[in-house]
Amino acid sequence: MSALPTRGNRRREPLVPGDRAAISSFDRRRPTVRTAMALINVVLFVVLVLACFGPLFLLMKFSVTPTQDILRTPMALFPNGVRWENLASAWNEVQINRYFLNTVVIAAGSWFFQMLVCTTGGYVLSVLRPKYASILNALVISTLFVPAVVLLVPLYLTVLNPPLIGHSLLNTYWAVWLPSAASAFNVVIITRFFDSLPREIFEAARVDGAGPFRLFWSVVLPMSKPILGVASVFAIIASWKDFLWPLLVLKQPAIQPLSVRLPAIQAQTDLGVFLAALAISTLVPVLLFLVFQRSFLRGAGMSGAVKG
Amino acid sequence: MDSAQHSARRRGPLTWVRGGGLTTVVFALPMIIIFGLFSVWPILRSVVMAFQETNLTGTAKWAGLDNFAWVLSDPDLPIAITNTAYFAVLALVFGFPIPLIGAVLMSEVKRLKGFYTTLAYLPAVIPPVVAVLLWRFFYDGAPTGVFNQLLGWIGLGPFPWLNDRLWAMPSLVLEATWAGAGGTVIIYLAALVGVPGELYEAAELDGAGIWRKIWHVTLPQLRGVLFITLILQLIATAQVFLEPYLFTGGGPNKATLTILLMIYNYAFGASLGSDYGAATALSMMLAAFLAVFSLIYFRLTRSWSQS
Amino acid sequence: MSATIRRAIAGLGVVALATTAAACASPTASSPSASQAPTSSAPAAPVNLTVVGLLPGATPEAQKNLANQVKLFEEANPNITVTTKEYEWKATTFAADLAGGTLPDVFEIPFTDAKTLIANGQIADMNDQLGEFPFGGAFNPNVLQYGQGPDGHAYAIPAKSVYGIGLHYNRELFTKAGLDPNKPPTTWDEVRADAKQIADKTKAAGYVQMTQSNTGGWQLTVATYARGGQMETVGADGKATATLDNPGTKAALQFLKDVRWTDNAAGSNFNLDWGTINQAFAAGQIGMYTSGQDVYTSLVQANAIKPDIYGLAMIPLEGDSAGILGGGTMAAVKAGSSDDIRKAAAKWISHWYLSRYTSEKAALAFNQQAFDDKQPVGTPELPMFSDANLEQYRTWIKPLINVPLDHMTDFTSKIGAAKILNEPPVATQDVYAALDPVVQAVFTDKNADIDALLAAANKTAQRAIDKAQR
């Protein structure tokens, strides 16, 4: 992939720099091409805004509409006024704030353990390279090819009765954090990145007397910030989206994340308040995305490169 | 020194420690423990459990092929297989061309590329549970349902959406495509960047118009990414769970019952004697099928890529 | 989420009875002041008992009340220490909880699942502890039978919210449609006619029933029993045969088909389980539906229903063997518990769940909490011990009753004479799961072939029954 242009402005095109595409500048001077391109621009704009932004917009609208209006005239423009209380209700009475916090805690823990496992693992596979590295590598990569469904039941039983620890991990966050740390994908992209780091710097550090820990902490990690950013985004997004696994292992409503709790409370919650809760749950990921677009999009593009 | 050479020749444990072997093990430990306990061990265990009868209140009994026989004789299995295949095909029909066309168009327009990219990826950022719950609300079958109202504006009658056998699965696929297309667009865009400009210039020298450039340069260059994305999408849709579970619970009348939903029902369904043996047996069968399918797929596409 | 969870939730903290003397059917008339919890020997050694407390999310006042009761119990039983645990019954993970050791010693289960748990050997035999309970364990046999094993021993003990299925109707929609809200329908033909009128005159669904998460099969079983049908027959050898294709079920499905397609009176949304149908009803979208008679509590707590619109009628019973499906919550003890634990458990169950039937003070204390929280007190219930006892209990808590009993007279006046029937005894949930798709098909497919659907469902149910009885 070509390097990204480093300009200072915020709104840069992340993935398609000034390189050319199929239509050349000569083509563009032809009037038919010009009108076609203008038309495409309009169509693309309208379709993308309606299809991608439309549902979100409707969600925002409904989150502050009284329930009776939502049920009877959903597309009308606030015939009975705006109901901001929906949001407050969702946050306080339905206690979205608590489930929100749970989601954050789960994401933070998953992020931490994933980073721990992937950076140390990548370090071993790429830099330290002991004799058994190839076995480890093969094992990790082989798990990439196993579909997730195979793990579901036995992982559940393992969490129920973990070998080293005495008691069940069910209903604790460990049951979500630890399995999430086994992300072969992140290990692979981090290992590949470490592979691309210039070995001379490591040699220089070793000559300066750096032991493996110093090398890891003060040399390798700081140089790997971009890839760590991407891996972090993956880890946090995956944790935020997780549904089936927390559904199975976190049975107490008090510790459940949003993804598990929202469907469960729908039948007891006023529709307007419920949609407000949905809106609040969407807000954070969307905001994070808008702020950290580059990392997101770079990561998304990278997943294609890795698998290819 | 003499003693150091002596120990080096012996290559004892002390050398290993001094040589940094212990540190390496310490670094490798998190990965070994986590992957071992929560990835490799469960996979191996899954294979074993498929041949056992696990009741949790007792010890696991050896059941031979009973679990497989049970699953294969389940009248719901053919239904689930058909539905899963149906979902996969529909998802392909909707979800393959659209991101491709979108990505090609987006790579050709000169302005607002960043804006379009952000918009396209936006649905992928919304948590899937939220998206499904929102769309389930949109899919209300009454005339006052959101989609029914919107379509009513252009004179299309109220549709049953999730309340009809024929409409249920397409409704699921529509939402799934909406949520997933953005990610695919980004992958294609990244690949499109990699198409060398010289190829286009060469084609122009040969007198190729825009369509022919796209057909003969852009698409072939994308072939690798397309093949990979296709197989990955098939593998993912074969394991679809969230949409059927949250939208319809497998109904109406099993119209949206997928293989994963069957596995979930075996293991965690409301019948109190959780049938983990049947669940793992079906998981194994699905995994084996996907493995064989992938092998055949890679064989075929390898020969095509080289042509 | 399954119906069983919702039913357990509905019973939280509020139980009351409503039967008038006119419907006295039970011959037993044990005087209310007769022997209370018998004072038998205390456990030999100190016992640590873990019990299920309140549902997660209970109010701080309710927690305080529970802590109070624990203290009282421990003072009366010095050898027993009680620890409460927040626990919510879920059929899906019960086996895992039992194996993982996260289950309290005493926990609550719905009537539906008692027999399956007994057959699986997952709960303890409590027959020898019957003496610990009020009135020497002389429970209403109709109610005790749910927790009895094939050997006639009592395994699970009836604990709270014992109910029968009723027909809930929206009085406001009745009035709007020109029907008399004080004269709910008494035959299935009348139900159909009223449903059509409601659908025609208002935009609501006249009559609809649950369809998902095994509640579809549950309510279809209700409709079947009301027409004299049976889902399973158990032979002399104890082997069960699925009879899902009995005339009662066929008639029930034909009824649904007619309401849905001929009269167009069932609305347009059929993804309904216990919670969502309550929600739709409270929002005024449904005219009539069947569910447990105690659902009013949940309608108030979870769905903010306006009490004025609520009416409770008796389900039309047609046919000689027609009856009402009953339900409720039982207390069970983990299998493998020691004798001391079981004795302590019996004492605790007696104290926490049943003492309200034995003393006015306990009855008032039990319901005061809900009354103060402005939650429903006095929702109808079936007799736990006897009709006379129930009457006595209702008299005790009369000052606290705040549910619109006058809207429920049709039900309360007829329930005493009705036969209370048990759920299908073998592989109950599997039978219900097999029937869900049938109900869904009838509602969503105009050309649904009822006979073919039932034949297929019968095969599936029989398969599950055979496996359960291997």
Strand B61-62 and strand C47-52: the pairing is unpaired
Instruction: Note whether C122 and C335 are within 8 A (CB).
Output: yes
Q: Which residue of A has its CA nearest to B216?
A: A22
Q: What is the mean pLDDT of residues C32-47?
A: 54
In chain C, residues 90-129 whose CB comes closer than 8 Å to chain B: 91-96, 98-99, 113, 116-117, 120-122
Q: Give the pLDDT band (50/70/90) at residue B270.
A: low
Q: Distance, in angstroms, between A152 CA and closest chain B CA?
A: 8
Position A2 scores a pLDDT of 40
Q: Number of CB pairs < 8 Å for A and C?
A: 48
Strand C286-292 and strand C205-207: the pairing is parallel
The better pLDDT of the pair C313, C23 is held by: C313
Position B58 scores a pLDDT of 59
Nearest Cβ partner for C278 among A168, A252, A267: A267
Radius of gyration of chain A (CA): 24
Position C348 scores a pLDDT of 92
Position A157 scores a pLDDT of 85
Q: Distance, in angstroms, between A186 CA and closest chain C CA?
A: 31
Tell me whether residue C22 is in a domain: no
Q: Which residue of A has its CA nearest to C102?
A: A168
Q: Which residues of B touch A27 (CB under 8 A)?
A: 210
Q: Which residues of A touch B123 (CB under 8 A)?
A: 52, 55
Tell me whether residue C80 is in a domain: yes
C350 and C372 co-located in one domain: yes
Long-range contacts of B303-307 (CB under 8 A, 24+ apart): B304/B223, B304/B227, B305/B223, B305/B224, B305/B227
Q: Check CB contact of C190 with chain A, cutoff 8 Å.
A: no
Position B241 scores a pLDDT of 92
Pure H helices in B50-75: 66-72
Q: Which residues of A touch C303 (CB under 8 A)?
A: 268
Task: Kindly tell me if the per-residue pLDDT of C15 is higher than 50.
Answer: no
Using a 10 angstrom Cβ sphere, with 0-12 exposed, 13-18 middle and 19 or more buried, the burial of residue C153 is middle
- How many helices (H) does chain A have, and how many strands (E)? 18, 0
C287 and C312 co-located in one domain: yes
The better pLDDT of the pair B115, A298 is held by: B115
Task: Kindly tell me if the per-residue pLDDT of C410 is higher than 60.
Answer: yes
> For residue range B62-78, what is the model confidence (pLDDT) as tens digits?
888 989 999 999 999 99
The interface pTM score, or ipTM, of the predicted complex is: 0.84
Residues 6+ apart with CB under 8 A from C224: C230, C231, C246, C248, C249, C252
Task: Kindly tell me if the per-residue pLDDT of C457 is higher than 90.
Answer: yes
Task: Kindly tell me if the per-residue pLDDT of B110 is higher than 50.
Answer: yes
Q: Give the pLDDT band (50/70/90) at residue C18.
A: very low
**Which residue, B181, B175, B177, is CA-closest to B161?**
B175
Q: Which positions of chain A have pLDDT values less than 70?
A: 1-21, 301-308
- Top-level class of domain A94-268: mainly alpha
Q: Give the pLDDT band (50/70/90) at residue C42.
A: low
Torsions phi, psi of B61, nearest 5?
Answer: -105, 150
Q: How far does chain A reach from its first CA to its final CA, in angstroms?
A: 13
**Which chains have 3 or more CB–CB distances shorter than 8 Å to chain B?**
A, C
- Given C383, C402, C420, which residue is the final one in a domain? C420
In chain A, residues 266-285 whose CB comes closer than 8 Å to chain C: 266-268, 270
Average predicted confidence (pLDDT) for chain B: 86
Topology of the domain covering B71-306: MetI-like fold (1.10.3720)
In chain A, residues 157-196 whose CB comes closer than 8 Å to chain B: 157-158, 162-164, 178-179, 181-182, 184, 187
Q: Which residue of A has its CA nearest to C85?
A: A252
Domain boundaries, given as residue ranges, for chain B? 2-49, 71-306
The better pLDDT of the pair A153, B6 is held by: A153
Q: Give the domain range for residue C286.
A: 164-323+426-468
Task: Kindly tell me if the per-residue pLDDT of B247 is higher than 70.
Answer: yes
Nearest Cβ partner for C269 among B73, B141, B165: B141
Position C19 scores a pLDDT of 33
Q: What is the mean pLDDT of residues B130-145?
A: 91
Task: Kindly tell me if the per-residue pLDDT of C91 is higher than 90.
Answer: no
C450 and C302 co-located in one domain: yes
In chain C, residues 329-388 whose CB comes closer than 8 Å to chain B: 335
Q: Give the pLDDT band (50/70/90) at residue C16.
A: very low
Neighbours of C443 (CB within 10 A): 29
Test A268 with C88 for CB contact under 8 angstroms.
no
> b or e along B162-175 (b: 16 or more beta carbons within 10 Å of the residue's beta carbon)?
bbbbebbbebbbbb
Instruction: Note whether C225 and C448 are within 8 A (CB).
Output: no
Q: Check CB contact of A253 with chain C, cutoff 8 Å.
A: yes
Among B196-205, C122-131, C204-213, where is mean pLDDT lowest?
B196-205
Test B35 with A140 for CB contact under 8 angstroms.
yes
Tell me whether residue C342 is in a domain: yes
Torsions phi, psi of A175, nearest 5?
Answer: -65, -20
Average predicted confidence (pLDDT) for chain C: 84
Among A1-10, C100-109, C429-438, where is mean pLDDT lowest?
A1-10
Q: Both tokens of residue B242?
A: 């969230």
Q: Which residues of A touch C1 (CB under 8 A)?
A: 264
Q: What is the DSSP string of C58-115?
A: --HHHHHHHHHHHHHHHHH-TTEEEEEE-----GGGHHHHHHHT-S-SEEEEEHHHHH
Position C17 scores a pLDDT of 32
Task: Select the highest-mean-pLDDT range: B159-163, B195-199, C120-124, C236-240.
Answer: B159-163
Q: For chain C, how many structural domains are there in total? A: 2
Nearest Cβ partner for A74 among B43, B146, B188: B146
Position C37 scores a pLDDT of 41
Tell me whether residue C352 is in a domain: yes
State the Cα–Cα distance between residues C468 and C402, nearest whole angstrom.
Answer: 44
C354 and C366 co-located in one domain: yes
Task: Kindly tell me if the per-residue pLDDT of C137 is higher than 80.
Answer: yes
In chain C, residues 317-356 whose CB comes closer than 8 Å to chain A: none
Q: What is the mean pLDDT of residues B251-277?
A: 84
C153 and C205 co-located in one domain: no
Test B70 with C467 for CB contact under 8 angstroms.
yes
> b or e along B16-29 (b: 16 or more beta carbons within 10 Å of the residue's beta carbon)?
eeeeeeebbbebbe
Position C386 scores a pLDDT of 86
Q: Check CB contact of C429 with chain B, cutoff 8 Å.
A: yes
Test B46 with A15 for CB contact under 8 angstroms.
no
State the Cα–Cα distance between residues C36 and C354, nearest whole angstrom.
Answer: 10
C207 SS3 class: strand
> For residue range B186-223, what is the model confidence (pLDDT) as tens digits?
888 888 887 888 888 888 888 777 778 888 888 888 88
Read off the amino acid at residue C407: H
Q: Distance, in angstroms, between B75 CA and closest chain A CA?
A: 21
Kindly report the CATH number assigned to the domain that includes residue C228: 3.40.190.10
Domain boundaries, given as residue ranges, for chain A? 25-84, 94-268
Test C100 with A170 for CB contact under 8 angstroms.
yes
Angle of the A85-92 helix axis to the A96-123 helix axis, nearest 10 = 60
Residues 6+ apart with CB under 8 A from C52: C84, C85, C86, C87, C104, C106, C107, C108
Q: Which residue of B has its CA nearest to C445?
A: B164
Nearest Cβ partner for C275 among A161, A170, A268: A268
Q: What is the mean pLDDT of residues B8-37?
A: 78
Task: Kindly tell me if the per-residue pLDDT of B289 is higher than 60.
Answer: yes
Q: What is the mean pLDDT of residues B24-29?
A: 89
Position C40 scores a pLDDT of 52
Tell me whether residue C41 is in a domain: yes
C303 and C171 co-located in one domain: yes
Q: Which helix (H) or strand (E) holds C167?
A: strand C157-170
Position C100 scores a pLDDT of 67
Torsions phi, psi of C26, nearest 5?
Answer: -80, 135
**Which residue, A111, A140, A101, A141, is CA-closest to A234?**
A111
Test B252 with C443 for CB contact under 8 angstroms.
yes
